[in-house]
Chains A and B, each alone.
Chain A
């Protein structure tokens, strides 16, 4: 009887530790899209730090049979707090790896390799944490007052571990269900686009890794206080894969899924195999355990890629909360969608456009802008001036370098040469999120929606200066940002109504048709409240009637002080709305003027208009 009670207490503690670790990893991977293949080192550093902070000085303890740093003999809870801090600090060097421009899978490999490297170092450098043998006889909290071997103590320990795990659950949920969480998920779905809308990727990833690392460190501290030993063998890089398996099975991007996965995978695998009788080949059971983990990952990703408890769709529009909105059928033609009341919409009010007297000064310009890949020059020596309050067009045959120029102006692509001036300031070296914060916002030629955000979330995520869109703001809770968020949602709903997409407010943006996604992107860019808007073929796939109505609205926005530079193939749009129009060909500026003037220009006609 009592053996079972002890066993139950053990399971509770292991379960809580695994659940906490999975919550942290899921926060990083499922919400922020950081594939932290080195996650186990964050848990491990917490375990080591909690151990050496709670232990007496190495020389004085146990005749000095083990070596370790610190040995400060601190009372609980200081070692656990120290463990959490250590986990958070360990994240900082990896910021360089997960920074801005590195592919997610390369960064993941870097983290994996770091985990292996640290294991090798700790194993071989004995003075740090007693090397391969590891640290043992780690004191349990309050062990001088209460016998850690007693059943009461163990249940109390398990209870405390569960309380802390529940606390972590609520803390992470507070973060992820805030506007900040929305920004993290936007980054997960498409980091380059999130960057171009003004999200600071490096900062967001740093915060994610630090928060995740702190939780992981705490989980390590709880574990080590109970099992009282910690050695490199316990945290091989493959342990991270087990946690990934847990999240894939439970459901990435869902906190409850992470907890379920922790119970189903690490806990169950450890516990169930305890009851398998010893076999002649002692390596067989652990080997088969690993095989099962591998198979679990492959089979789940194939048959149920979103896990048992998939990520929840966030229903933000109040009126549609009751009826779930199905994603539209792919076959549905854009022409059939009823046009919204776009004519009635007051965009200037919606975008909070302040009254500006158009002075048509040069607001954005580049001089000698050049881009080459592998020695092939795509854009060479382009000098363009964009005047405030005008809708400037940019045309040219395929491969002329239009999109590349736009990307360099927005900062998505670094330029190989030349200078970009925005509002009298040299912004050539400024990253794209900073440019967006200054009011220089772009759209993309290729699909760039945040797939697993609803249409409404896509729009709201772009709105600048949200008070809940920071770690501190999010932690202050809904009371702090709720009413503002509500107003933002109202604005986005009004915009959706104007474009006739109200019915899709709560559908995943990834399920829309091509033309609808273009509209979502235009709306999103407008809600970023740009001063200068760079549009890359915004009307491609949009119904011509609607395209012209959007053009009218853009013209009105320009009259109110916005500046737009638009790449577009559809010449009727250029004719109707753009003045002046710049022609690019083979990476160089060929001509500039009104469409009427350009039609008279034989070089332009030859390069572009005829073809």
Chain B
């Protein structure tokens, strides 16, 4: 049961990250493989605020802003110019991989290779429904649930959300129907970047100790969660994250922690091979 608790936290963080990732894919058709490096850079900004005396929960905000701004800039100054050149989609993916190297190892060059951790106590241990969760984990869980609720509200009940969904379905048609597509894309990257920064920071807090390359393999979990739910589908991403998060932690408990990501890999490869548009998605979305 305790692995279920861990799984819930992993799933909640993964859900935030995957929703951001899948929104970027939805509006710009970019598989942003630099996502992990933005996550860890945000975590480090937050960490430096924290060790310079800012409380963890305020410094978290610094991570969110970093993720937001960096993601927006990445799209505005790198991905969009490349896409305008009408290149094969794979070119932009290769560029994203290049950005990932620059982001991750540029950070490592600056901060060094050592492990660091936030100055905060994990808080009192709570025993809920047979799960042992620390105060920190409960707060993380609460933040994630609130944020996912906000995303739901944004997509379902606001003009911006409607415009995002329209842009994702068909950018040209959206433009012709009066949606300011460029602005929607920019806003989406700001919001999804904020989710990326938030996910990176809470990921680092939850992990305890982390270093510049800690998020490098996180992209695999992200991709697995996204493809399970269908690429470009925010609700699918939440479902996928829950499935992947729980199954990795539970398999870690029952099989072996060394192989805990294997289930995510296998899920991802299976989805790509048999249903690349997700369990609920349909062909048209790709």
Contact = CB atoms under 8 A, between A and B. Distances in A.
Interface of A: 35, 37, 96-97, 102-110, 113-114, 116-117, 120-121, 124, 238, 241, 244-245, 248, 281-284, 286-291, 293-298, 301-302, 305, 373-374
A289 B284 CA distance: 41
B268 A110 contact: yes
A102 B272 contact: yes
A269 to B, nearest CB: 12
Contacts of A106: 31, 231, 272, 276, 286
A301 B101 contact: no
Contact of A290 (B88, B101, B261, B269): B101
A302 B220 CA distance: 27
A116 B85 CA distance: 31
Nearest to B109: A287
A296 B102 CA distance: 10
B94 A116 contact: no
A305 B94 CA distance: 12
Q: Please name the 5 residue pairs, one residue from A and one from B, whose CB atoms are nearest each other, closest first.
A: A294-B101, A283-B113, A297-B98, A290-B105, A294-B102
With most chain A CB atoms within 10 A of its CB, the pick from B81, B262, B266, B272 is B272
Contacts of B78: 298
B262 A291 contact: no
A117 B95 contact: no
Specify the main secondary structure of chain A where it touches its partner: helix
A244 B258 contact: no
Contacts of B282: 373-374
Interface of B: 31, 33, 78, 81-82, 85, 87-91, 93-95, 97-102, 104-106, 108-109, 112-113, 212, 217, 220, 223-224, 231, 256, 258-259, 261-262, 265-266, 268-269, 272-273, 276, 282-284, 286
A25 to B, nearest CB: 12
Contact of B273 (A97, A117, A120): A97
A110 B90 contact: no
Contacts of B89: 103-105
B272 A107 contact: yes
Contact of B98 (A37, A96, A298): A298
26 contacts: A35-B94, A103-B286, A104-B88, A105-B90, A106-B231, A108-B93, A110-B269, A113-B224, A116-B217, A117-B262, A121-B259, A283-B113, A286-B105, A287-B108, A287-B109, A289-B105, A290-B105, A291-B105, A293-B98, A294-B100, A295-B102, A297-B94, A297-B97, A298-B95, A298-B102, A374-B282
A288 to B, nearest CB: 5
Contacts of A297: 94-95, 97-98, 101
B25 to A, nearest CB: 10
Contacts of A374: 282, 284
B31 A109 contact: yes
Nearest to A110: B272
A117 B265 contact: yes
B273 A291 contact: no
Given A301-B82, A373-B282, A291 B265 contact: no
B174 to A, nearest CB: 17
Contact of B97 (A241, A286, A288, A305): A241
Contact of A294 (B93, B98, B217, B265): B98
A294 B105 contact: yes
Contact of B220 (A113, A245, A248): A113
B108 A244 contact: no
B285 to A, nearest CB: 8
Nearest to A102: B276
Nearest to B107: A287
B213 to A, nearest CB: 9
B27 to A, nearest CB: 16
Contacts of A121: 259, 262
B105 A120 contact: no
Nearest to B284: A373
A547 B261 CA distance: 60
B93 A284 contact: no
A6 to B, nearest CB: 31
Nearest to B98: A297
A109 B272 CA distance: 9
Contacts of B87: 305
Nearest to A300: B98
A84 B104 CA distance: 34
Nearest to B212: A287
Contacts of B220: 113, 116
B168 to A, nearest CB: 14
Given A106-B276, A109-B272, A373-B282, A293 B109 contact: no
B102 A291 contact: yes
Nearest to A119: B217
Contact of B223 (A109, A120, A282, A293): A109
A288 B106 CA distance: 7
A283 B97 contact: no
B107 to A, nearest CB: 8
Given A109-B223, A287-B105, A294-B102, A302 B82 contact: yes
B35 to A, nearest CB: 12
A187 to B, nearest CB: 13
A296 B104 CA distance: 15
Contact of B95 (A287, A289, A290, A301): A301
A120 B91 contact: no
A104 B276 CA distance: 12
A288 B109 contact: yes
A117 B219 CA distance: 13
B109 A124 contact: no
Contacts of A107: 272
B82 A113 contact: no
Contact of B99 (A289, A298, A373): A298
B99 to A, nearest CB: 7
With most chain A CB atoms within 10 A of its CB, the pick from B256, B269, B282 is B269
A124 B259 contact: yes
A244 B258 CA distance: 30
Nearest to B224: A113
Nearest to A240: B97
B109 A284 contact: yes
A288 B272 contact: no
Contacts of B266: 117
A356 to B, nearest CB: 39
A107 B89 CA distance: 12
With most chain A CB atoms within 10 A of its CB, the pick from B82, B101, B273, B284 is B101
Contact of A97 (B90, B112, B256, B269): B269
Contacts of A298: 78, 95, 98-99, 102
Contacts of A294: 97-102, 105
A94 to B, nearest CB: 10
Given A283-B112, A287-B108, A297-B94, A120 B272 contact: no
Given A298-B78, A298-B95, A293 B101 contact: yes
Contacts of B81: 302
B276 A103 contact: yes
